[in-house]
Each structure stands twice: as structure tokens, then as C-alpha cells.
Amino acid sequence: MTEKTTRLINAIGQLDRENKEHFTAAGLPQTKALEEVVGEDVSAAERDEAWQLFQDMATAVVSVAEKKDSGVVTGQDVLKHLRQQGHRV
């Protein structure tokens, strides 16, 4: 994962899902909104990659939390789950 992809994932987390200027009608983050957060141009392909990883991470958190007795999910838990799913993180 590139540094820019990491910044885009973080930026997605800062967007407001209810704000039409932040998300498209199809539910994708607006590239313009991401550009405003990261301070550089963002292509649709870069947005799509970051969006997929963002969603995969959210799914991993839920999946790991459901399996843990403590309910506490660490970053290492999420990374381990993503790696088991074939992601290179």
C-alpha cells in the first residue's frame, strides 16, 4: 500500500456520508472532497483503490470483533485478518 493510499483511506474516514459534496449518488467518495483533505490531485482509480481498502478494513474490524471474547480489536488484529484475506498491507 502506498503512502498516498494510506492518506486517502484516512481522508475517507473524515468525510461526512450525509454530505452530497463528499459522496456520489452511487456511494463513492467524491474525488474533489478527497483532494481537499489530502491537498493533492486524486484520480478515480486512486479513489477506488482506497475506497475498497477502507471497506475491507471496516469489514475486518467487524469480523475480528465478532470472534474475540474481549470485544477489543487492535490494529494488529485487523492487519492479520486483512493479510489472511490476501491483502498486501
- Tell me if 37 sits within 8 A of 15, measured CB to CB: yes
Residue 57 lies in a domain: yes
At 29, is the secondary structure helix, strand, or coil? strand
Q: Model's pTM, two decimal places?
A: 0.75
pLDDT of residue 86: 80
Structural domain contains residue 36: yes
Q: Is residue 71 part of a domain?
A: yes
Nearest to 9 by CA among 65, 84, 71, 82: 82
What is the span of the domain harbouring residue 24? 3-84
pLDDT score recorded for residue 68: 67
Residue 52 within any structural domain of the chain:
yes
Number of domains making up the chain: 1
Does any domain span residue 50? yes
> Tell me: the pLDDT tens digits for 39-71?
999 999 999 999 998 888 888 777 777 776 666
Asked if 56 and 84 count as a contact pair (C-beta separation under 8 A), the reply is no
pLDDT value at 82 more than 80: no
**So what's the pLDDT on residue 71?**
65
Asked if the structure places residue 78 within a domain, the reply is: yes
89 belongs to a structural domain: no
Q: Specify the range with the lowest mean pLDDT, choosing from 10-24, 45-59, 69-83.
A: 69-83
In this prediction, residue 62 carries a pLDDT of 73
